[in-house]
Chains A and B, each alone.
Chain A
Amino acid sequence: MNGNLNLWLVALFPFAGFLLNGILGRRFPKWLVTAVALLTPLASFALVLNASRFVFAGSPELNALPYVETCPVGWIHAGALNIDFSFVLDQLSLVMLLVVTGVGFLIHIYSVGYMGHEEGYARYFSYLNLFLFFMTVLVLAGNALLMFVGWEGVGLASYLLIGFYFKKDSAANAGKKAFIVNRIGDFGFLIGMFLLLANFGTLTFSEIGARLAANPAWQGGVLTTIALCLLLGAAGKSAQLPLYIWLPDAMEGPTPVSALIHAATMVTAGVYLIARTHILFDHAPFALAVVAIVGAATALFAATIGLVQNDIKRVLAYSTISQLGYMFLGCGVAAYSAAIFHLMTHAFFKALLFLAAGSVIHSLGGEQDLRKMGGLRRKIPITFWTMTAAVFAIAGFFPFAGFFSKDAILYAAFLQGPGGRALWFVGLVTALLTSFYMFRLWYLTFLGESRSPEIHPHESPWSMLGPLVILALLSVGGGWIGIERFAAFLSPSTGVRAAESGGPHLELVLSVAAVAVAFAGWFIADLFYRQKPAQPAELAKALPVTYKVLSNKFYVDEIYGATVVKPLFGFSKYVLGWVVDTGLLGGLAWVLGGAALFAGAILQRWQSGNLRSYAAWLAAGAAAVLLFMLVPWASVWPLSADLIWKAARH
């Protein structure tokens, strides 16, 4: 390979799959669609594995990571501004790429079984491949603008896949909602890029990093503004407060899409953006604090909503928002490697949760309501065992993957002084809630007696179970590498973590606390949903207001509807629609048209079509010219023109 990793092919393979299946898919036989859809991500994954082999082997050509690949044809060259199509492989993008293409490939396999009987099979896979293309562009991008291309592209793919069942109104609306809410975040990203250009004159991440490294005293000020703008973009894409509202609705899409885009990869792009631009955030402590607070608040907020949802996918959606909050919290306490570590383990266990939930839904013929499930443990044992691994991982039990990453984030938060301890406490409470609602889901789905005896569930095909098993293994063992080694590996791209003052004793105490709350959550769920099944209803009756607020998701959608959507609609309809469009623009067009008509009505009398009237006008014109030439006063005009000419020359 001679140091040439052909990164561009990693992105281009899925794109080729998108083109093939998108254009010709309807004429292809089904096996060919499947082959194209599976082989292109597999090729990308193989390339990424090859690249990681070089990285881990310390190949001499690649000793100097980051490895940069630039397209010989430039993109934008205007004055001092140079923007190229450049792909950058460093430790950070390598981890992301492994997750994106690896988990992405597994979910492609799963989709073959899950979507096998659906209409639009080829369309589904072309969108999925398109998503992979844009996601790899986003991850590999060496400058903010190219990243933005991927950023918008995954938004497009997300929109297309949420609205995959476009004949259903709710799915089409959910797609639109996701797109529009994301626009708000994109606005922040764009403003951030403009500010970067104005202050650094470049959008290339490495150059920005170099400039900041050369000026260690440059803190706050415009950097804070830039970081906050980027945070707005990240919050939109990663469904953080206050822009999280699109993610629960995005569950209208097919379940593998929820697993790939709305759990494992796309929604973590915000975390990736912050990790990628972490040098900026390091120079803006205020923005960093905002990141931490937004993350902790989102984690707690979403977890409380997740407690009372009855749709299996919605529980997982709120859980995703909550876990993304953890990652933001990790970024906010400058523990970027811990955040990326959690991103990775979360990709494993949350993709597994969604896929297992999809397997449950599949086996029940489309039923998503937890209240109608139950007793599935014996009916679909493989799904049950894999889901169990994921539940234990997300709840944070030792030695499952989630324990290591969540623990690393909480530990890093705890070390950040009194404020950090408050954040740690919020994170710990969230961990309790997480454990509770995940075991609630587990009990309601798999244990007890079936609440819909008329349905006869069947285990899913092996194309679906295979990815489940692989992801289950990763959910169990994905964290064993440990945060120290992971952080050491990532440190060239995410910076070295601040020296830790806690010592091993403190770390052990915090770990025990984290596992203890996980057990507490399990115990409460066990009490509520196994020992005393009547308890939850009684509790809901005892706290009617709390239950109502929670089950209505804090009325956030309603509040946004009343404070943002309705005024905007009113403004658009009355001010823009009636006053500006109908009144001003319509009126102006009407006046112009009327003037033209009026002038035409007068002038058309000239065009009588009567030969003699034309002749009369001709004669009159000739007479006028004659008069002008013959009468002496008429010759004043050329004279005055002569005078003006002379005056102008002097």
Chain B
Amino acid sequence: MNLLSQGVPLSWYLLLSALLFSLGVLGFLIKRNLITVFMSIELMLNAVNLSFVTFAHQWHAVRGQIFVFFVMMVAAAEAAVGVAIIIAVFRARATLAVDRIDLMKL
């Protein structure tokens, strides 16, 4: 017994997933703070997770759910590495504004 079987249609979940993903993209593009950008990436990953779970339930396939675990695991590892990089950048540059981190520019 869960929510899905009680008549919440599939498209609602997918719409929510798309909305979350778009918010993530938007945040990624327009925010300047590196930590916010990082959080936007996590948001995109979780939006994808949501659609994975939705389809797995719809097709009664367990593979989607396994994928979700993989994504969460990778996201955790990524968070560890990412935060470490952010700390290193902050120590070196004393700023977290993405626009100022542009040493690779020609």
Contacts and interface: CB of A to CB of B under 8 A. Distances in A.
Nearest to A608: B105
Q: Which 4 A-B pairs have the closest CB atoms?
A: A609-B105, A609-B102, A609-B104, A611-B98
Contact of B101 (A607, A608, A611, A615): A611
Given A607-B104, A608-B102, A611-B98, 10 more contacts: A604-B106, A609-B102, A610-B99, A611-B99, A611-B102, A612-B28, A612-B98, A615-B29, A616-B29, A619-B25
A301 B98 CA distance: 91
Contacts of A612: 28-30, 98-99
B79 to A, nearest CB: 18
Interface in A259-276: none
Contacts of A615: 28-29
Interface in B1-52: 25, 28-30, 37
A607 B103 CA distance: 11
A604 B103 CA distance: 15
Interface of B: 25, 28-30, 37, 98-99, 101-106
A615 B106 CA distance: 18
B29 A609 contact: no
Contacts of B98: 610-612
Interface in A616-650: 616, 619
A191 to B, nearest CB: 57
Contacts of B28: 612, 615, 619
Contacts of A607: 104-106
Contacts of A610: 98-99, 102, 105
Contacts of A611: 37, 98-99, 101-102
Given A611-B98, A611-B101, A619 B29 contact: yes
B14 to A, nearest CB: 14
A608 B99 CA distance: 10
Interface string A569-610: 000000000000000000000000000000000001001111
A610 B106 CA distance: 11
B60 to A, nearest CB: 26
A609 B106 contact: yes
Nearest to B30: A612
17 contacts: A604-B106, A607-B104, A607-B105, A609-B103, A609-B104, A610-B98, A610-B102, A610-B105, A611-B99, A611-B101, A611-B102, A612-B30, A612-B98, A615-B28, A615-B29, A619-B25, A619-B28
A616 B98 CA distance: 13
A609 B103 CA distance: 7
Interface string A422-439: 000000000000000000
Contacts of B29: 612, 615-616, 619
A612 to B, nearest CB: 6
Nearest to B31: A612
Contacts of A619: 25, 28-29
A610 B102 CA distance: 6
Contacts of B102: 608-611
A607 B105 CA distance: 7
Which of B30, B102, B103, B106 is the most central at the interface, judged by chain A CB atoms within 10 Å of its CB? B106
Nearest to B102: A609
B100 to A, nearest CB: 10
A610 to B, nearest CB: 6
A615 B101 CA distance: 14
Contacts of A604: 106
Contacts of B101: 611
* Residue among A607, A608, A609, A616 with most chain B CB within 10 A: A609
A469 to B, nearest CB: 84
B68 to A, nearest CB: 21
A610 B97 CA distance: 11
Contacts of B30: 612
A619 to B, nearest CB: 6
A613 to B, nearest CB: 9
Contacts of A608: 102, 105
A619 B102 CA distance: 20
Contacts of B106: 604, 607, 609
Interface in A386-407: none
Interface in A526-585: none
B21 to A, nearest CB: 11
B48 to A, nearest CB: 13
A615 B99 CA distance: 12
B82 to A, nearest CB: 13
A612 B25 CA distance: 11
B93 to A, nearest CB: 13
A609 B99 CA distance: 9
A616 to B, nearest CB: 6
Nearest to B34: A611
A615 B37 CA distance: 11
A609 B101 CA distance: 8
Interface in A6-33: none
A451 to B, nearest CB: 82
Contacts of B105: 607-610
A611 B40 CA distance: 14
Nearest to A605: B106
A604 B106 CA distance: 7
B61 to A, nearest CB: 22
B101 to A, nearest CB: 7
Contacts of A616: 29
Contacts of B99: 610-612
Nearest to B41: A615
A105 B37 CA distance: 91
B96 to A, nearest CB: 12
Nearest to B103: A609
B90 to A, nearest CB: 15
Nearest to B28: A615
Interface in A444-476: none
A106 B106 CA distance: 74
Contacts of A609: 102-106
A168 to B, nearest CB: 57
B38 to A, nearest CB: 12
A468 to B, nearest CB: 80
A611 B101 CA distance: 8
A610 B37 CA distance: 13
